[in-house]
Amino acid sequence: MSELLVERDGPVAILTLNRPERLNAISGPMLMALSESLVECDRDPGVRAIILTGAGRGFCAGLDLQDVSSGAGIGGGGGLGVTLDLRDAPPIVLHRIDTPTICALNGGAAGYGMDLALGCDIRIAAESAKLAAAFTKRGVLPESGGTWLLPRLVGWSKAAEIIFTGRTLRARDCLALGLVSRVVPDELLLKEARALAAEIAANAPLAVQASKRMMRMGLSETFDDHVHHVYLQLLPLFRSKDFREGMTAFLQKREPEFQGE
């Protein structure tokens, strides 16, 4: 079976990590498939939102420690070349793409899995969900974006406490910290994620993508620079068919039908 399942539900793509017998622990083929699928979805104008989730009872248990201990897997020397090139690694691809991403966080997300979840734009957690920052308990550090993402999401002090202690956060803890948007019963997780993705997909996709692009750029530029960049993003949107459709639908008091043009 494929270690990554790809499903389409209209304008929504659902990517499912598929090693349930290993709690979706990360393998080399899974990483490659995830990066490739994210890029393909981002390039497809018919995809307006992406849901990332895991098969079985856990989202992702992190790097496969059995492979690592045997020296065959990621982090154990297996599959690593002489040079290190992370440009196509999933956390970087997640950050770079303009299509909105939703993590449907089912069960535990530890280590690399936690970083993958934090790398998504929005997180919805099942009641059984957990984020386990177990890096320092394993002798490593958050290697896939966690040291950049977590302080921006919860502030320096809270991020330091979570990372330095290797603490596990349950779903309600994550909600209180603002790490997830909502907590839902396990059996409703995908339904809620699909509904949110559909709500996003109903809006003008060029405007949604431009908004995400500007939010990302705003993390590393001054306010004055950012305002100028936003204006440059507005110019092509004003000339789009979707802008005219949005204005017309508003005046006619009907729901707009956006084409992504």
DSSP string, 198-247: HHHHTS-HHHHHHHHHHHHHHTTS-HHHHHHHHHHHHHHHHTSHHHHHHH
Whether residue 260 is contained in a domain is answered as no
Residue 231 maps to a domain: yes
pLDDT (tens digit, 0 to 9) for every residue of the chain, 261 residues total? 799 999 999 999 999 999 999 999 999 899 999 999 999 999 999 999 999 999 999 999 998 866 555 555 555 444 445 555 677 889 999 999 999 999 999 999 999 999 999 999 999 999 999 999 989 988 888 888 999 999 999 999 999 999 999 999 999 999 999 999 999 999 999 999 999 999 999 999 999 999 999 999 999 999 999 999 999 999 999 999 999 999 999 999 999 999 999
> Domain tally for the chain?
2
Q: Do residues 55 and 176 share a domain?
A: yes
CA separation for the pair 119, 91 (Å, rounded): 6
Residue 112 to residue 109: CA distance in whole angstroms: 8
Whether residue 52 sits in one domain with residue 8: yes
Domain boundary among 201, 222, 243: 201
In a shared domain, residues 124 and 17: yes
**257 within some domain:** no
Domain boundary among 201, 219, 238: 201
The structure's pTM equals 0.91
* Domain co-membership, 121 together with 213: no
Q: How far is CA 235 from CA 8, 162, 213, 232, 250, in A?
A: 32, 42, 15, 6, 20
> What domain range is 229 assigned to?
205-251
At 67 the pLDDT is 59
191 with 211, same domain: the answer is no
Please name which of 236, 213, 209 lies closest in space to residue 226, comparing C-alpha atoms: 213
The answer to the question of residue 135 being in a domain is yes
Kindly state whether residue 258 falls inside one of the protein's structural domains: no
* Whether residue 162 sits in one domain with residue 241: no
In a domain, 256, yes or no: no
Same domain, 136 and 238: no
Same domain, 213 and 131: no
pLDDT at position 78: 47
pLDDT on residue 85: 65
Indicate if 176 and 194 belong to the same structural domain. Answer: yes
Q: Which one, of 153, 105, 111, lies nearest residue 133 by Cα?
A: 111
The confidence score (pLDDT) of residue 88 equals 83
Q: Are 99 and 70 within one domain?
A: yes
Say if residue 154 is in the same domain as residue 197: yes
CATH number at residue 47: 3.90.226.10
- Residue 167's nearest CA partner among 213, 206, 219, 110 is 110
Examine residue 225 and state whether it is found in any structural domain, yes or no. Answer: yes
- Asked whether residue 65 falls in the same domain as residue 97, the answer is yes
Q: At a CB cut-off of 8 Å and minimum separation 6, what does 208 contact?
A: 48, 100, 200
Question: What is the C-alpha to C-alpha distance for residues 177 and 180, in angstroms, rounded to an integer?
Answer: 8
Domain end: 185, 201, 217, which one?
A: 201
